[in-house]
Chains A and B, each alone.
Chain A
Amino acid sequence: MSKFLEVRNLNVSFPTEDGMVRASNGVTYSVGLGETLAIVGESGSGKSVSNLAVMGLHNPTRTEISGEAILNLKSGSVDVISADTETVRKLRGKEMAMIFQDPMSALHPFFSIGDQIAEAWHLYNKGSKADGKNKALEMLELVGIPDAAKRINDFPHQFSGGMRQRAMIAMALVNNPSLLIADEPTTALDVTVQSQILSLLKELQIKFNMAIILITHDLGVVAEFADRICVMYGGRIVEDGTVEDIFYQPKHPYTLGLLNSVPRITAGTSHRLKAIPGQPPSLINLPKGCSFAPRCEYTSKVAGGKCSTEVPTLDVKNAGHLSRCFLSTESLNNLVKDKA
């Protein structure tokens, strides 16, 4: 059975004066209805860029995009990469919606919260102004805005950070889309508000049977929220698996390094953090081989120095668990054991 969104071999690059910025290279992932896929990576790993391409939100004159992103709708399948802009526009907001990191700048400062939600509803529904307002009210109540009837005419600056993000969610979901892309939705919020927003998203996902793509750098959020995880580095997916796969059986040295470098609140006594040395690669001059090779401690263990000359493929290492590394699961496990 095919999943709701299937992204295959997606490439996104931006021509600049300094050269071609290859932000997303051969990215492949998929997400089904009711499922949450987390895309994890540091800044510049290509996690947002790939999903903006799915939404068709890149400026076509300044971006080169190739590959496929297929939405399997009830009415048939559409490849949003090759489809014309008008077709994709009509899918935005209706079949796929997106929320962003900073809800203050993502909401228009001059229009009331209610108007902004109603505007999205009117786009795909016939109804009077009052109908639109009622729908906006219903959505604000759904996302848990207290006194929604009173707050509906408020402007974004009158809302708190958490309420703004709730309003963004209300606006994104007003047409009941099947896919919600959430780009760092809680990064700008305090932890107590973050947990409110995440549990709201979970609740709404079950209610509407939505596919959610969660873009984040926060491994804690991922661990508690996602079903599947794609780890991105240097514009490529380096590992893809279930939450358990990634957290308990990581098969890529970068994932391993990332997991070791976060301080954990449950860890008890403070051990020394195991930092990954070096810096993330420049997307203009990606290393010739594996993009993680310059920072990887295991490159010497791969025969023939392949790591710096050849890009490893994203191979199935276990059922449903893929990793882009020349090392076999066994040899990686042994190397990790030796170190410990």
Chain B
Amino acid sequence: MSENILELNNLTKYFPIKGKGILSGTKGLVKAVDGVSLTVKRGETVGLVGESGCGKTTVGRTVMKLYEPTSGQIIFDGQDITDIKRKEMKIVRSKMQMIFQDPFSSLNPRHTVGTIISSSFTIHGIEPEGGIEHAVGELLELVGLNPEHINRFPHEFSGGQRQRIGIARALALKPKLIVADEPVSALDVSIQAQVVNLLDDLQQELGLSYLFVAHDLSVVQHISDRVVVMYLGKVMEMAPTAELFKHPRHPYTKALLSAVPVADPKVGRSRERIILQGDLPSPVNPPAGCVFNTRCWKAQDICRTEIPETIQISPLQTLACHFPE
């Protein structure tokens, strides 16, 4: 059995931009994900961070095969799932589940919690031990909800509770990998902590692996073993969490970390802060050379012409920069 539950090799996903009208063809390509390689080990949590438009969500969805990858390879649990058919994907999906950001819009408002969670069983034609109802009750208990609420509708729950329902649904088929797309960003701070702790507990208990997609670096730091930093569809840096936060090697990582406000006035105000100039360039026309060069304070001529190679610093650490820190 492979050590990795998930392996992405040079994954790309381009979205064509369609012109308006019937006669105009493709106008360009949004390079949402452009050559991403990463691994998630069994029982590990890998955080995928970056600003909006960096492609982190697209990576998550392509892994789930909600999007067809443009090129590259997705290996899940030792099986190459890049080109597998829909029928086979259904089997794979039972071992790989997703949690979404908005716990309200991802739950059907007309279905009871019981129906929502048991649909995981019925779709895959699985009859759990002790019957579906019993299994659903156990799942609700597992995520800290009252099993008696099985017949309630999503709107009767608060945001945090709805996210717990989403998690229960994802856990129904005992998956090995969970792709969590901004699972706590829509929640209030005090509720966020509850859900983060729940995800922690479930990992311990069930040996889950997480691909945790988020923009909130403090949450990612808290929950991840390893962090992948993305910018404009490319991986800038990947490192074990403690290493990345202590010694960021890529200028972008450094700037990103320094921009995160710290909930401690003395530390926060005395910190060196790098304020990046300008905005994210368009992923339709990413800059030549290193994609970060337009906002990088260290950029030299070579950064504007040559794409930096991704260097493997250690088995768990990579870096793509001409002038690392």
Contact = CB atoms under 8 A, between A and B. Distances in A.
Nearest to B144: A277
Contact of B196 (A162, A191, A273): A273
A269 B260 contact: no
B278 interface: yes
A162 B261 contact: no
B136 to A, nearest CB: 22
A53 B222 CA distance: 38
Nearest to B221: A265
B222 A273 contact: yes
Contacts of B188: 42-43, 217, 280
Interface string A229-266: 00000000000000110010000000001110111111
B61 interface: no
Contact of A263 (B221, B268, B280): B221
Interface stretch (B1-9, B103-111, B212-220): B212-220
Given A190-B52, A199-B275, A42 B261 contact: no
A220 B265 contact: no
Given A191-B51, A195-B275, A224-B269, A265 B197 contact: no
Interface residues of A, number: 49
A193 interface: yes
A243 B265 contact: yes
Given A224-B265, A277-B194, A192 B259 contact: yes
Interface residues of B: mostly helix, strand, loop or mixed?
helix
A194 interface: yes
Please classify how large the interface on chain B is, using the bins under 10, 10 to 19, 20 to 34, 35 or more: 35 or more
B193 A275 contact: yes
Given A192-B51, A217-B189, A273-B193, A259 B276 contact: no
A268 B193 CA distance: 17
Interface in B241-272: 241-242, 245, 255-265, 267-269
A272 interface: yes
B279 interface: yes
Contacts of B278: 146
Contacts, number: 138
Interface in B196-253: 196-197, 200, 215, 217-219, 221-223, 241-242, 245
B267 A275 contact: no
A266 B161 CA distance: 29
Tell which of A163, A191, A265, A273 has the most Cβ of chain B within 10 Å. Answer: A265
Contact of B261 (A190, A196, A218, A274): A218
A243 B268 CA distance: 12
A311 interface: no
A275 B217 contact: no
A263 B197 contact: no
B221 A196 contact: no
Contacts of B258: 195
A265 B269 contact: no
A328 interface: no
B283 interface: no
B265 A244 contact: yes
21 contacts: A191-B260, A192-B256, A199-B273, A220-B262, A220-B263, A220-B268, A224-B261, A224-B262, A224-B268, A224-B269, A259-B263, A261-B189, A265-B245, A265-B257, A265-B260, A270-B241, A272-B200, A275-B190, A275-B191, A275-B197, A279-B191
The 8 A-B pairs of least Cβ separation, nearest first, read: A220-B261, A263-B222, A275-B193, A261-B193, A190-B51, A42-B188, A219-B263, A276-B190
